Amino acid sequence: MHLMTNRLTLCRPDDWHLHLRDGAMLAAVAPHSARLGRAIIMPNLVPPVVTGADAAAYRDRIRAALPAGAPLQPLMTLYLTETTDPADVVASHRDGIIAAVKLYPAGATTNSASGVRDFDRVRPVFEAMAAAGIPLCVHGEVTDPEVDIFDREAVFIDRVLDPIRRATPGLRVVMEHVTTREGVDYVRANDAIGATITTHHLVINRNAILAGGIRPHYYCLPVAKRETHRLALRAAATSGDPRFFSGTDSAPHPDRAKESACGCAGCFTAPNWLPIVAQVFEEEAALDRLEQFVSLNGATFYGYPANEDRITLVRRADPAGAPAEIRADQDRVTVFDPGFPLHWHVEDPA
Ligand code: NCD
Ligand code: ZN
């Protein structure tokens, strides 16, 4: 497949990092991810999803919010706290209620106040997970105020992630939303580790947030870094290396919460992520590896078969029509604008 390709058929894609929220926001955003095969659902609700029972109840609320017949299978996660019970984690995984556990350092990002402060206190959970083969999804940023926000991922690797992995051999780790060359290099150099790469980090660098005015809809965590890092992410995503896979980190917030003196972190990419990612792969002359990134590598890492059904992407002159915003009750939620027209249209027989 080359630049002239204008039609691509792929196994139905998955999303290995997705925020669907709850209540009115869940109802508004779930239809935009309904045509995925599977999605890893992040547990940072208020209060967070901490037990297997919480996860089962949240899964049922998600199913109820999906259109009838939607293919999406939500794969639930638990929010790791210092009081998480290893036996509940193992039982929930064995019973098919959860697919993974999410580690948020306390205070690192939106709704992470119940996260982990002392990593030694969760060592028994890590050991039980390693023994049972349960993946740990990691938000890889230190929260030390002395560390510059643009360095927090690289410092996390040295201070937290590498020590955890050395202390718990065999623990399968997903570095979520990797944003730096250091993160990409760490994943490449190690076994039993994978990484999600978001849509927006393939498209924007930090100038999008800060140059010529402050643009809150491009602010997310980990924050977008300088251009060299964006290029490293594009190289990793398009390389075909099976350890890198698509996780949108689609993170909807009401506009009033983002367009504020203290705007919150998160880009809402669910409605247009696939046309954007296809365009990125086209620009990198890597359309022949798109299916690995969006449909195959993540499933392999998590131990699932590829989805059996297929979707088709068609490149047309007319731009694909993702909405600029959606409504959730009284709220507006702005959709991520990549800054270029999208020409890849999704045709889905389902
Ligand atoms: C996420 C959110 O809003 O829940 N925000 C973000 O900027 N990515 C939290 C997260 O994944 O860090
Ligand atoms: Zn996230």
Q: What is the DSSP string of 41-85?
A: EP---SS---SHHHHHHHHHHHHHHSPTT---EEEEEEE--TT--
The answer to the question of residue 337 being in a domain is no
**What does the pLDDT average to over 124-140?**
98
If phi over 0 gives left and psi between -120 and 50 gives alpha, with beta otherwise, what is residue 282? alpha
The answer to the question of residue 339 being in a domain is no
Question: Measuring CA to CA, how many Å separate 344 from each of 77, 161, 231, 282?
Answer: 31, 37, 22, 10
When mean pLDDT is compared across 43-47, 111-115, 216-220, the lowest value belongs to 111-115
**What does the pLDDT average to over 306-332?**
94
The tens digit of pLDDT for each residue in 200-209 reads: 999 999 999 9
The tens digit of pLDDT for each residue in 148-204 reads: 999 999 999 999 999 999 999 999 999 999 999 999 999 999 989 999 999 999 999
Question: Is residue 275 lining ligand 1, measured as CB closer than 6 Å?
Answer: no
Q: In which order are the strands placed within the sheet that holds 7-11?
A: 7-11, 310-315, 344-347
The answer to the question of residue 321 being in a domain is no
Which among 16, 19, 204 is the best mutation to test ligand 1's pocket, defined by most ligand atoms within 8 Å of the CB? 19
Question: Is residue 250 lining ligand 1, measured as CB closer than 6 Å?
Answer: no
Whole-number percent of the chain with pLDDT over 70:
99
The answer to the question of residue 320 being in a domain is no
Say if residue 4's pLDDT is above 90: no
Show the domain range for 214: 12-307
**What does the pLDDT average to over 294-304?**
98
CB 245 within 8 A of CB 202: no
SS3 195: strand
The tens digit of pLDDT for each residue in 212-262 reads: 999 999 999 999 999 999 999 999 999 999 999 999 999 999 999 999 999
Q: Is the entire prediction scored with pTM above 0.95?
A: yes
Which among 21, 40, 80, 110 is the best mutation to test ligand 1's pocket, defined by most ligand atoms within 8 Å of the CB? 110
Is-catalytic flag, 249?
yes
Q: Which ligand is nearest to the CA of 247?
A: 2
Catalytic, out of 249, 309, 329, 331:
249
Question: Is residue 102 lining ligand 1, measured as CB closer than 6 Å?
Answer: no
Q: In angstroms, what is the span from residue 159 Cα to ligand 1's centroid?
A: 22
CATH of the domain at 148: 3.20.20.140
Atom of ligand 1 nearest to the CA of 108: 12
Reading the block at residue 172, the tokens are: 């399968």
Question: Is residue 40 lining ligand 1, measured as CB closer than 6 Å?
Answer: no
Q: In angstroms, what is the span from residue 127 Cα to ligand 2's centroid?
A: 24
Q: In angstroms, what is the span from residue 249 Cα to ligand 2's centroid?
A: 4
Which candidate, 225, 161, 223, places its Cα nearest to that of 187? 161
CA dist., res. 314 & res. 87, Å (int) = 47
The answer to the question of residue 250 being in a domain is yes
In which residue are the tokens 């259109």 written?
67
Question: Is residue 110 lining ligand 1, measured as CB closer than 6 Å?
Answer: yes
Q: In angstroms, what is the span from residue 17 Cα to ligand 2's centroid?
A: 6
The answer to the question of residue 263 being in a domain is yes
The answer to the question of residue 300 being in a domain is yes
- The predicted pLDDT at position 3 comes to 43
The answer to the question of residue 329 being in a domain is no
Work out the mean pLDDT of the chain and round it to a whole number: 96
Question: Is residue 333 lining ligand 1, measured as CB closer than 6 Å?
Answer: no
**What does the pLDDT average to over 264-290?**
97
- Domain count of the fold of the chain: 1
Question: Measuring CA to CA, how many Å separate 340 from each of 178, 204, 280, 336, 343?
Answer: 23, 11, 11, 11, 9
